[in-house]
Amino acid sequence: MTFDDVCVLALAWPGVERSTSYGTLALKVKGKLLTRLREDGETLVVLGVGLDEREMLIEAEPEVFHFTPHYQDWPIVLMRLPKADPRAVEALLLRRWRAVAPKRLVKELDAAQGRSAG
């Protein structure tokens, strides 16, 4: 995957827009950070991943998931996009989107997908 692939996925969700964060390409939902690309151009910063879940992801797929000392105490995992499964990228980002998007946008997406909100 590439960041362009990530954009194709996420820009289909209501309220997602291209932006920047810390001088790198990013995606935001109504001004709230959804994800950003690290300076290497291949690593995605995935927010909203608890420390226990991060440990499990790294143990299961160390070639994809990792973190640096900078992110040690934060609910963040780093994802190597060229090795990432698009379904995993979508699942993690959609979960983050649901956490930061306004409720009306979540309802909008659920309605478009034929799901009930909640």
Identify the CATH number of the domain defined by range 3-112. 3.90.1150.30
Mean pLDDT within 1-27: 97
pTM equals 0.91
Residue 28's H or E segment, with its range, is strand 24-29
**Pairing, β 24-29 against β 43-47:** unpaired
- Compute CA 95 distance to the chain's CA centroid, rounded to the nearest angstrom: 8
Q: How far apart are CA 81 and CA 61, in angstroms?
A: 13
pLDDT single digits (tens) 18-39: 999 999 999 999 999 999 999 9
Q: Which of 103, 102, 82, 79 is nearest to 91 (CA)?
A: 79
Single-letter amino acid code for the residue at 16:
V
The domain segmentation of the chain, as residue ranges, is 3-112
